[in-house]
């Protein structure tokens, strides 16, 4: 396997090697050498309920007992679609896929099919999956100040021609947003946005800015796509749409939707979703789309997430951890800004002001972040380092990170903070 991994992001850059794990349970991982680690990467956010939640595992096992059906519809698929429509604002129809990459690819295809347009507005630093249509400007060099950001591919092998279908502007910048629609508005099929950009650590949208984006897309007949692959179900049952009170035309969901099982979805209003085959011939299908064990796992996960106290308690624990980290870094004089929304957070070492966009995110000290990850690893805390990024990675807790786990972690983080400050470790 190139790099010793089956997915490039699993290589641990700070360690200079992959970490091979034997098992996971709740908030913890055990590597092949038997070492126990508290997990703050949580499958890049997919394992929101913790590793191997009994109810989710039992539901998936039931799917296996029913024959691991794929390429066949079941009543369970209908139930899951109905559940998503009931939970997520503005969603009246759902099509299941396997990954967040497929979901955003599908959302853009739907938008282009319905509008007959090609251009897509995206925002600097936002990541929307691994397909060529959007693999630009998530980790690019910082552009010169101005309303428009030149297309810069995030991977070798991505033709620049795909960048010509994108209009990229800074995030949370009202003037740049107005300029984009003034110049390109009538040619835009869609605007796609992470309403909370966890792929840059944790940068929430300014609500007035997001409301302006909603107004402009509606005025110009373009789809507003909320990429909630990461933010979905993480801060509220209805995700960022519920948090901000702003409804998109299309939404993409993954990660927490399956609680660690591979499933994703694209959903939206009937008028946008109606273009999909077999109705109006816009292709979106796959052998493993809506694989039965994952569908049943998702139903079990959504049942747990529907607990009225779930998100309030999850946010309380995340704040407990983040407040504790701030206190420990401040006590030893390590400058840092920690931003948290719901279950996930971003750590920006060397930054003292709020991080509001890609440019300010790139001001974070990557070398101190690398040292933090290594020191935390030595203390039994797992923070993954993807490497090759110009902005911090997102980290987070799961429902299995109870107060005892967080208290233990903060004890260990006291040692980590002292190590970063150059003080002798206890």
Please tell me whether residues 257 and 354 are part of one structural domain: no
Please tell me whether residues 187 and 287 are part of one structural domain: yes
Is 35 contained in some domain? yes
CB 92 within 8 A of CB 85: yes
Tell me, what's the pLDDT at 423? Answer: 67
Is 95 contained in some domain? yes
DSSP state of 88: S
| DSSP string of 344-366, one letter each residue | EEEEEET--S---SHHHHTTS-H
Please tell me whether residues 79 and 42 are part of one structural domain: no
Decide which of 258, 275, 305 is a domain's last residue. Answer: 305
Residue carrying structure tokens 């747990």: 304
Number of domains observed in the structure of the chain: 2
Is 291 contained in some domain? yes
Tell me, what's the pLDDT at 426? Answer: 38
Decide which of 290, 305, 320 is a domain's last residue. Answer: 305
CB 338 within 8 A of CB 348: yes
pTM for this model (two decimals): 0.97
Tell me, what's the pLDDT at 128? Answer: 98
Tell me, what's the pLDDT at 142? Answer: 87
Report residues of the chain scoring pLDDT below 70.
423-426
Tell me, what's the pLDDT at 401? Answer: 98
State the Cα–Cα distance between residues 332 and 421, nearest whole angstrom.
Answer: 6
Please tell me whether residues 79 and 169 are part of one structural domain: yes
Tell me, what's the pLDDT at 387? Answer: 87
Q: Could you list the residue range(s) of the whole structural domain that residue 267 is in? A: 54-305
Q: What pLDDT digit, counting tens, does each position of 112-142 carry?
A: 999 999 999 999 999 999 999 999 999 988 8
Please tell me whether residues 82 and 169 are part of one structural domain: yes
Tell me, what's the pLDDT at 425? Answer: 44
């Amino acid at each position: 396997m190139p790099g010793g991994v089956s997915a490039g992001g699993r290589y641990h850059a700070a360690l200079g090697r992959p970490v091979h794990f034997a098992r996971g349970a709740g908030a913890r991982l055990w590597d092949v050498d038997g070492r126990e680690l508290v997990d703050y990467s949580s499958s890049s956010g997919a394992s929101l309920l913790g590793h191997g939640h009994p109810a989710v595992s039992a539901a998936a096992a039931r799917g296996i007992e029913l024959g691991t059906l794929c390429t066949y519809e079941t009543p369970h698929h209908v139930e899951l679609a109905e559940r998503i429509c009931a939970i997520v604002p503005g969603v009246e129809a759902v099509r299941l896929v396997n990954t967040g990459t497929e979901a955003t690819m599908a959302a853009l295809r739907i938008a282009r099919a319905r509008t007959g347009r090609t251009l897509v507005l995206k925002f600097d630093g936002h990541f929307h999956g691994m397909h060529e249509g959007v693999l630009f400007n998530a980790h690019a060099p910082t552009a010169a100040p101005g309303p428009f950001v030149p297309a810069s591919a995030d991977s070798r092998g991505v033709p620049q021609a795909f960048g010509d279908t994108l209009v990229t502007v800074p995030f949370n910048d009202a003037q740049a947003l107005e300029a984009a629609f003034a110049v390109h508005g009538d040619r835009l099929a869609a605007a796609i946005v992470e309403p909370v950009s966890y792929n840059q650590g944790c940068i929430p949208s300014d609500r007035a800015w997001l409301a302006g984006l909603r107004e402009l897309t509606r005025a110009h007949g373009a789809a507003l796509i909320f990429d909630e692959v990461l933010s979905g179900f993480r801060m509220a049952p209805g995700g960022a749409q519920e948090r901000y009170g702003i409804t998109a035309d299309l939404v993409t969901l993954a990660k927490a939707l399956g609680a660690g099982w591979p499933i994703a979805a694209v959903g939206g209003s009937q008028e946008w979703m109606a273009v999909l085959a077999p109705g109006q011939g816009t292709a979106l299908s796959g052998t493993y789309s809506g694989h039965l064990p994952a569908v049943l796992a998702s139903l079990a996960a959504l049942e747990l997430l529907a607990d009225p106290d779930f998100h309030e308690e999850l946010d309380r624990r995340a704040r407990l951890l983040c407040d504790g980290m701030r206190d420990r870094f401040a006590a030893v004089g390590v400058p840092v800004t920690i931003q948290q929304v719901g279950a996930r957070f971003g750590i920006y070492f060397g930054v003292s002001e709020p991080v509001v966009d890609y440019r300010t995110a790139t001001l974070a000290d990557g070398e101190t972040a690398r040292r933090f990850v290594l020191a935390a690893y030595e203390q039994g805390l797992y923070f993954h380092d993807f490497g090759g990024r110009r902005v911090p990675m997102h980290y987070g807790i799961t429902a299995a990170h109870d107060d005892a786990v967080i208290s233990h972690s903060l004890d260990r983080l006291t040692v980590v903070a002292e190590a970063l400050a150059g003080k002798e470790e206890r």
